[in-house]
Amino acid sequence: MTLEFNATVRDKGLGNDDKKKILLEVPISELKGKVEELTQLTNKAVTIQIIPQYYRYTVPFDKSTNAPTQEYVVNNDGTINFVKKEQTQLEVDDQGNIDIENRPFEVTKDIVDEFIRAARSLEFPGNINPRSVLIRLEDGEPAEDVAEDYEMSAITMLNELEKAREYYAPYAAAWDKKRNEVIFLEKEPETDDSDASEEASEDISSRVNNESQTEENLSEVESDAHEEIPGIDEEADGDLLGQSDPYGNEPPEDDGEEDPY
C-alpha cells in the first residue's frame, strides 16, 4: 500500500532523545478516500519521502547595475544554454569582496515536471531518464517496477529524479516565461557512420565493377568485328570470277581444252 498526498511541514514536536515528532498539516481534500488506508498504518513503521512543492535556486546579480551576471536560457528550438555575462562595473569593498549578491528564486514542482516531460530532445544528467520515469509513474506504474529497470531501489530512483528536478529548476522557470514560443524537437536516432560509409563504398565498388565489365564486353565485340574471316585469300582480292574459293578449296586444273560455249 502506498499513499501520496500534499502536506505542509509545520514543526517538529517534542519527543525523547531517540525520537522526535513531526507535524504535517494536510488539507481535507488531499485525504479524501485515503483515511481508511492511513488508519491501517497507525502505529506501524512506514517509509516517508518528503518532496518539496517548490524548488529554489539563486542567480548572482551585480548590484552596481542591478543585472544578473548569468542566465539560464531556453531557446525557441528547445536547446538550453547557461550564459555568463561579462562583468564590467564591479565594485570591491574594504574586505576585497566583489559587489555581487545571490538573489533567490523559486519555481513550482508542477512547472519543473512539465518542462521535463516536454523536453524530448534534451540529454538528462544522472543515472535515469527523468522524462521516462515521470511518465511511467503518472501512468500508475509502481515505483519499484520502474526502478528495477535501472537496477536500483525505488528510493534511489526517486532521489535521482529529485536531482534532475533541482538541476532543471532554473531552466524550467525560464521556459515557463516563453513556453508558447518553444518547440522541442524529437531526438534524432543515432546512425552508425561507419556502416553508412561501408555501404557507400560497396555501392561505388559495385558500379566500378559493372562499368569495367561493360567496357570489357564492348572491347570483345569490337575485336570480333575486326577479326578476319578465316579461309579468305587476301591476294585474290578483285578475283570477280571466283576462281579462288573463299572456303580454301583449290581451283580446278586447266586441261587445255577450250570451252565450246
Considering the domain architecture, whether residues 34 and 138 belong to the same structural domain is answered as no
Q: Which tens digits make up the pLDDT trace of 33-87?
A: 888 888 888 888 888 888 889 999 999 998 888 899 999 999 999 999 999 987 6
Q: Which tens digits make up the pLDDT trace of 140-194?
A: 999 999 999 999 999 999 999 999 999 999 999 999 999 999 998 876 655 545 4
Whether 70 is in a domain gets the answer yes
Q: Write out the residue range of the structural domain in which residue 34 sits.
A: 1-48
**Listed residues 9, 24, 48: the one ending a domain:** 48
Considering the domain architecture, whether residues 137 and 165 belong to the same structural domain is answered as yes
Number of domains in the chain: 2
Considering the domain architecture, whether residues 73 and 134 belong to the same structural domain is answered as yes
Q: Which tens digits make up the pLDDT trace of 92-147?
A: 555 555 688 999 999 999 999 999 999 988 888 789 999 999 999 999 999 999 99
Whether 206 is in a domain gets the answer no
The mean pLDDT value of the chain amounts to 77
Q: Which tens digits make up the pLDDT trace of 222-249?
A: 555 455 545 445 444 444 444 555 555 5
Considering the domain architecture, whether residues 168 and 138 belong to the same structural domain is answered as yes
Considering the domain architecture, whether residues 86 and 166 belong to the same structural domain is answered as yes
Considering the domain architecture, whether residues 71 and 125 belong to the same structural domain is answered as yes
Whether 242 is in a domain gets the answer no
**Listed residues 181, 210, 241: the one ending a domain:** 181
CA distance 119 to 94: 46
pLDDT confidence bin for 217, thresholds 50/70/90: low
Considering the domain architecture, whether residues 65 and 159 belong to the same structural domain is answered as yes
Whether 159 is in a domain gets the answer yes
Considering the domain architecture, whether residues 85 and 123 belong to the same structural domain is answered as yes
CA distance 184 to 79: 8
Considering the domain architecture, whether residues 39 and 87 belong to the same structural domain is answered as no
Note whether 209 and 103 are within 8 A (CB). Answer: no
**Listed residues 151, 166, 181: the one ending a domain:** 181
Question: What residue spans of the chain are helical by DSSP H?
Answer: 28-31, 35-40, 109-118, 130-138, 143-149, 154-176, 193-226
Considering the domain architecture, whether residues 37 and 104 belong to the same structural domain is answered as no
Q: What is the pLDDT of residue 241?
A: 46
Considering the domain architecture, whether residues 36 and 116 belong to the same structural domain is answered as no
CA distance 130 to 133: 5
Whether 227 is in a domain gets the answer no
Q: What is the pLDDT of residue 57?
A: 95
| C-alpha closest to that of 61 among 76, 71, 72 | 71
